[in-house]
């Protein structure tokens, strides 16, 4: 039996990505947004990320997906640690900085308070919550690369609802998404 529900065409080949139904499914997820920071070879970078999730309970692991078009990805390739920051909804200015500007043109870290974290990564202490993790695996997912992290330090405690993808639709990306 051949499925024709969007996963395969009638001839058995994969359906073309980008169908309205599939994008509609993804849009309904409305994930939390994170700022991911990386430091390597004396260069700092950070970006707004919507593709991030816990991927293991025991041991605790978390994966963030960075666009290959992104300045942060280029720095993260050489990094040993990344920091992941959750933002509350009242931190749209921070989301705008990390989502609407590119590190190719702007030193985002010159515009805010940050601290050095594990492995030299940049931690934003004002975030709702954060953790720094050692990169233990990288996996190519197409136009994004997944960085699997082993959390080594965490903090934060700012209360309030988290910033979600739907809260950021009006931020013009600093670079193309894919």
**80 HSE (CA, 13 A, CB side):** 7
In a domain, 58, yes or no: yes
Tell whether the torsion through CA atoms of 138, 65, 99 and 105 is positive or negative: positive
Residue 4 falls inside a structural domain: no
Phi, psi of 91 (to 5 degrees): -105, 35
The answer to whether the bond into 42 is cis (omega within 30° of 0) is: no
**Structural domain of 47:** 20-168
pTM of the model: 0.87
Query: What pLDDT, on the 0 to 100 scale, is given for residue 101?
Result: 92
Kindly report, residue by residue over 67-82, the tens digit of the pLDDT: 999 999 999 999 999 9
Distance, in Å, from the CA atom of 18 to the CA atom of 22, rounded to the nearest integer, reads: 7
pLDDT at residue 2 in the model: 40
The arithmetic mean of pLDDT across residues 48-71, rounded, is 97
173 inside domain: no
In a domain, 2, yes or no: no
Element (H, E) at 67: strand 61-67
Instruction: Report residue 38's pLDDT band, with 50, 70 and 90 as the boundaries.
Output: very high
The answer to whether the beta carbons of residues 124 and 114 sit under 8 Å apart is yes
Task: Render pLDDT for 107-152 as a digit per residue (tens, 0 to 9).
Answer: 999 999 999 999 999 999 999 999 999 999 999 999 999 999 999 9
In a domain, 163, yes or no: yes
Contact 68, 144 (CB under 8 A): yes
Task: Tell whether 8 is covered by a domain.
Answer: no
Domain of 162: which CATH number? 2.30.110.10
Count of structural domains, the chain: 1
């Amino acid at each position: 039996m051949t499925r024709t529900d969007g996963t395969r065409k009638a001839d058995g080949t994969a359906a073309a990505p980008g169908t309205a139904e599939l994008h509609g499914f993804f849009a309904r997820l409305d994930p939390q947004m994170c700022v991911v920071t990386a430091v390597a070879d004396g260069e700092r970078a950070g970006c707004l990320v919507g593709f991030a999730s816990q991927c293991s309970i025991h041991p605790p692991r978390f994966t963030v997906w960075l666009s290959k078009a992104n300045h942060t990805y280029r720095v993260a390739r050489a990094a040993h640690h990344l920091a992941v920051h959750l933002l509350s909804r009242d931190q749209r200015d921070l989301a705008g900085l990390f989502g609407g500007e590119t590190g190719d043109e702007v030193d985002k870290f010159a515009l805010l308070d940050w601290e050095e974290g594990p492995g030299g990564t940049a931690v934003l202490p004002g975030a709702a919550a954060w953790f720094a993790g050692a990169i233990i695996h990288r996996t190519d997912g197409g136009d994004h690369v997944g960085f699997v992290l082993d959390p080594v330090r965490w903090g934060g405690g700012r209360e309030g609802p988290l910033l979600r993808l739907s809260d950021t639709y009006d931020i013009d990306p600093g670079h193309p998404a894919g």
